Structure 1
């Protein structure tokens, strides 16, 4: 059996994408926007951002590539949201600095991530549940729990990734926060396990290289733990919301119009129904 060349595969995926007019329109618009940003970043000498734009263009093709690889049909709504999510995270968030300009941007994306990952986890279990090759007959409750756990696992793994990037490359992906109260057992003069509380902190002075540097942030600089917990909390919310949606979708066996927009369907005739297949 002849191996498919990667270039051929991407070309066919692009061709398959154009079979869906609404998805194709969004894809073409976003791709054009990314190319414009990439050209601007190239002339500004920001080659790291140029690479990020190239990565974004490849990620845009992931939904269609998954469709072809798994022989499934992704709903248009799910495909569009995934592409918008990638654009919002990489181009707007990283390159256009929306993460720092708009404090709620990161929270919104993590909530959406929890929702989407729960949808993906639920879809995987649902496809196995309906596949005759597997002897599975899972209850709606169990499927909802699996979807929730899948979403939270992805969320935790992402926080591991952010922590690793911060430790090894000092990227500050786990954003710091300013707090006015700290409580730590490391400040206990007896070296016991009693937390010492310091309140009403208005500034912190850092001593580096024999020089005292006042941070001037109006409080103590937290090192990212609050950002991590906030991200996991909103991921939890998104996961719970879709888990309930998926539960009622299975209970009504596919009658829920809203849930259908996020749950892929296995193609019955894999050869004929796959867009772009020749």
Structure 2
């Protein structure tokens, strides 16, 4: 008789469940008030959370705990605090915190992308340094790509994502780069710990 073990809930499972519950509460709270942006935001949050899970399952990606936590934390900060609860007016530097967070997340995603690209190349001996440098440069490149996107939409649609300021643009890129470096150091430290434990 086969007995299958149930997967234990970890902190990220509780965190994700809390985000779903908070989104539902926000939807029910703002629905009677008829505040369309505040009603739409919880729907968007639930959609994003579900979409992440769908993509993960379809592509069979391995979201390690630090990546999953950083993604959930980013959703909480950027979509709940910033947009749903209007914390932009309360915390002037919140936008920069988001860019710092995104640098960390994109570095982690870079590592997942590298593993996915090379999933069928088991015979290749790829050094850990190559993986980590790929994740670092992937994140920095994505920070630049995001600013290109903001620049393009600002000029095409008259938006003010960059506040028509080179200082704002460069600060965002720097914050994203700092986040990428923090993630790189974390991954490097974790990798060295694993190497030492295997010896």
TM-score, normalising length: structure 1: 0.59
SS at match of 1:84: helix
Alpha-carbon offset, residue 54 of structure 1: 1.0
> Contact 2:61–2:112 (CA<8 Å) still a contact in 1?
no
Q: Determine the C-alpha separation between the residues in 1 that align with 2:131 and 2:10.
A: 32
Which structure shows the higher helix fraction?
2
Distance 1:140 1:56, change over 3 A: same
Please say if 1:160 is aligned against 2:148: yes
Alpha-carbon offset, residue 242 of structure 1: 1.8
SS at match of 1:239: helix
Please say if 1:142 is aligned against 2:83: no
Aligned partner (choices 146, 169, 174) of residue 228 of structure 1: 169
Structure 1: gaps (5+ residues): 1-17, 177-222, 257-278
Alpha-carbon offset, residue 70 of structure 1: 2.7
1:104-123 pair list within 5 angstroms: 104-123=93-112
The aligned residue for residue 172 of structure 1 is 160
Q: Determine the C-alpha separation between the residues in 1 that align with 2:83 and 2:124.
A: 42
String of CA shifts for 1:173-199, please: whole Å, max 9, x gaps.
Answer: 22x3xxxxxxxxxxxxxxxxxxxxxxx
Q: Determine the C-alpha separation between the residues in 2 that align with 1:156 and 1:19.
A: 39
Q: Determine the C-alpha separation between the residues in 1 that align with 2:139 and 2:183.
A: 10
Q: Determine the C-alpha separation between the residues in 2 that align with 1:46 and 1:228.
A: 31
SS at match of 2:31: helix
Please say if 1:66 is aligned against 2:7: no
String of CA shifts for 1:233-271, please: whole Å, max 9, x gaps.
Answer: 011111112223333444555668xxxxxxxxxxxxxxx
Alpha-carbon offset, residue 85 of structure 1: 0.8
Q: Once superposed, what is the RMSD of the aligned Cα atoms?
A: 2.7
SS at match of 1:101: coil
Which structure shows the higher strand fraction?
1
Please say if 1:95 is aligned against 2:36: no
Q: Determine the C-alpha separation between the residues in 1 that align with 2:86 and 2:168.
A: 17
Q: Determine the C-alpha separation between the residues in 1 that align with 2:126 and 2:54.
A: 28
Q: Determine the C-alpha separation between the residues in 2 that align with 1:35 and 1:243.
A: 35
Runs of 4+ off more than 6 Å: none
String of CA shifts for 1:9-67, please: whole Å, max 9, x gaps.
Answer: xxxxxxxxx96353332222211212222233333333233222211111112443233
Q: Determine the C-alpha separation between the residues in 2 that align with 1:162 and 1:89.
A: 16
Figure out how many residues of one structure are paired with residues of the other and give that number.
Answer: 191
Aligned partner (choices 41, 53, 58) of residue 52 of structure 1: 41
Answer with 144-153 or 120-129: which moved more.
Answer: 120-129
> Contact 1:128–1:134 (CA<8 Å) still a contact in 2?
no
SS at match of 1:137: coil
Alpha-carbon offset, residue 93 of structure 1: 0.9
Aligned partner (choices 116, 121, 124) of residue 113 of structure 2: 124
> Contact 2:139–2:180 (CA<8 Å) still a contact in 1?
yes
Q: Determine the C-alpha separation between the residues in 1 that align with 2:169 and 2:161.
A: 10
Alpha-carbon offset, residue 127 of structure 1: 5.2
> Contact 1:63–1:79 (CA<8 Å) still a contact in 2?
no
